[in-house]
Amino acid sequence: MASADNNIYFILMANSPFEYIEAGEICFIDKDLYVEWKKVNNKDLLPVGRMGKALHTDIDPVQLKPLSLRSAELLLALESNIERLLALNDPEALEEASNLSLGSRVCVECNGKWLKGVIRHIGNIKYYSSEPITGVFFGVELQGEDTGKGQNDGSYLHKNYFTCPKNSGIFAPFTRIKPADHKPSAPPLPAQSPPSITSTEPLNVGDRVTFFGDKNAHHGMVMAIKDSPDGKMVLISTDKDEEGKQGGELTVPLFCVIKEELLNKDETEIMDTSQSPEKEAVPHSEEISVGSLVQFIVGKKIAYGIVRWIGYLPDYPEKSALLEVEDGSGVSDGTYKGKQYFKCPPQSGLFVKLSICRPDDRFSAVKEKEFNGNSDKASVYVEEENIPPIRTEDVSKRLIGKMKGIQGHCNSCYMDSALFSVFSCSSVLDSLLFKSTQDQTIQSILLKSIVNPLRKHGFVPECSVMNLRKQLQNRERCPTYTTDEKDPEEFLSLIMQEILSLDPPLKLCPSGSGHKEQSCYYYQIFMDYNHHLVLPTVQQLLEHSFFSNSLKLAEVPACLILTMPRSGKSFKMFPKIIPSIELDITGLLADGPQPCVLCGQLANEECAECFRDTLFSDTGFKYFCLECSTQVHSHKQRRCHKTRSLHLPQGFSYSQSSGSDPRSPPREKLELFAVLCIETSHYVSFVKYGPRDTDWIFFDSMADRVGESNGYNIPEVRACPEVGQYLHMSLAQLANQVPREMEGVAKRLFCDGYMYLYQSKSMSLYR
């Protein structure tokens, strides 16, 4: 790929006859190719590359406006083609932005307010791009009285570009940056304008427009469009106000204005992508009522909200809806012209035409018409087709994002996190879903209403989990399963043992004669206070717990569920625990062949008194062949140690009398596939979904919320590749990590780990 300097850049100034080529696109051509093209015949179409497109396109050069490299990079940071065209009309702003440098004092626009700061980063804020150039953003550290009013700490998408205090960093394109000595000539713009009443379509003098001011709608005619330090401003001759008085002339920002003709168009309606273009959209107004989840168009994006009121607004003939929108992109608290229609948080309420609303297609799989945070009003979706766990290559498109995973409701986070961890990307406990059982109702709900929808659609509504909770409660397993928080191990044990009667996956052998083999569904790690561990791994904790309680494994478990040592939900025995990606259980097996910790050959003896001696091995249990045992215990400090002879399984022999080398036994290892974490009584989970170190996702069933008592939770699954870099650190490096400064959500994994789930790829095939 040619370097950025070897290209000539253009912006397309007019729409192409082909619908897929739009004005505002950034194009480029190699300089040498351009010279050759001019030599041959400069009247032909110019073969240019288009940013984000794989193939070259022939375009009339008359439609292309040349750009400098820096101007192309600055314009490319703007999201839409229309924004680039509008920004191109302000060459002064482009020139000012090109002259900015690190350390320049600027004002940056954030949520409609201009904040003061210093530029700390200029450049790309994406991990990788195959394009010759990428959009240039400005990273600003807010200072003075504006410190703490930003959005980050200098990091974007888990990558650090500069360092500043929490919530004092902002990344912005050049259209939101002004030199500090370039004072705004107008008061700060209002908070984000209502998406439903603004337009990025170019205006012309004489256009009839509608705009909002003082929370009320105003109408008028465009008299002029002017440039200002704050961007484009529109001079409007307004109509009469509510009291019948002439409104006069007002100057308002361009982005607060919309053509009146657009308010009457049906082009904003969201079409079902499964319909052909020739088919007419089916009206959805009758399907929508108060409490419905809906979606609507914001520019070229889809926004979501919950309907809080439906009716007719004063002086507006069409039926309207008040939406409480996600992400705080509204403009009011539910008030219109002084009347409160519904009480919602500031900048969360938005009045729109009911006709532009469509049922939220994120819930199309659950086929529900109403959702008020009350599962009694939502029908439960059933997916009959049995779906395998989500493959590594499908995780990003099926699981990542908001409204993904399992939706939380009424203290269900322990259950949501446990179900997501066990079933989203692993099949180790799928036998629960298909084994013969007398309680087929709960098994059917688990399979068809939770696991199959999760694996097929990447989403399970709270009503499905509530249905499972009700079944558990109705069977008198526990009278508070629909209301109270439980422990995840309590829930998993109830499902596996009492309801579906799964054979316990874990079999333990207590030391000493006369002790019977014990079976269990999970293992709670208990520690004595003589362990001397400071920053332990899960491997060390398990070994110390087995040693302290004189336990061994009777066999290799297909699934091993471990809960960490702690007292209640607030006390942690260790401030950090390092997840062991692989758990070597060779030394924990009661009757398995063991390698000598010194020479690696088949061991004959075990010495329990050498357990805490780190001279020979970092692992706890110490096994020796006869020769190494003799040497080790000849030391005066170990002469009094009592060793125990090992019993080998059939097929293994020591071959001491022959000249051949003793056989080296295999090692048995389990792999980590999920971790449940808890902080302040809220459970979340991490899932290892692929073989790479960065293949981690983080799930929170209650990551966000729309509404209050009658609202609903927004679950979220996000990629967290930053976990991999911490797992590769040395113990000394990890010990020096300040939890609040750890990147992304890594702090939760290392500091809040509660339950670790391991699987044996080989044994799970036979269970």
Q: Are strands 523-524 and 506-510 parallel, antiparallel or unpaired?
A: unpaired
Question: What number of other Cβ atoms are within 10 A of residue 743's Cβ?
Answer: 18
Catalytic residue among 409, 457, 633, 682, which? 682
495/594 Cα distance (integer angstroms): 35
Instruction: Supply 196's token pair.
Output: 């439903």
DSSP element (H, E) containing 726: helix 722-727
Q: Which of 139, 23, 153 lies closest to 88 in space, CA to CA?
A: 23
Q: What does the longest C-alpha to C-alpha distance in the chain come to?
A: 113
**Cα separations in angstroms, 712 against 306, 332, 371, 404, 467:** 9, 20, 8, 14, 17
Amino acid code (one letter) for 451: V
Q: Are 585 and 669 in contact (CB under 8 A)?
A: yes
| DSSP structure class, residue 651 | T
**Cα separations in angstroms, 167 against 151, 178, 247, 434, 718:** 5, 20, 41, 49, 20
Angle between helices 91-99 and 81-88 (to 10 degrees): 90
Instruction: Supply 552's token pair.
Output: 């061994």
- Within 13 Å and on the Cβ side, how many CA atoms surround 297? 16
Q: Which of 649, 661, 651 lies closest to 625 in space, CA to CA?
A: 661
- Residue partners of 413: CB distance under 8 A and separation at least 6: 485, 682, 683, 684, 700, 701, 702
Look-up: residue for tokens 């399984």?
Answer: 649
Among this protein's residues, is 413 annotated catalytic? Answer: yes
Catalytic residue among 110, 164, 256, 413, which? 413
DSSP element (H, E) containing 552: strand 551-553
57/650 Cα distance (integer angstroms): 71
765/445 Cα distance (integer angstroms): 25
| DSSP structure class, residue 145 | G
Burial profile 394-422: b = 16 or more Cβ within 10 angstroms, e = fewer: ebeebbebbbbbbbbbbbbbbbbbbbbbb
Among this protein's residues, is 599 annotated catalytic? Answer: no
Task: Please compute Rg for the chain using Cα positions.
Answer: 32
Q: Would you name the residues annotated as active-site residues?
A: 413, 682
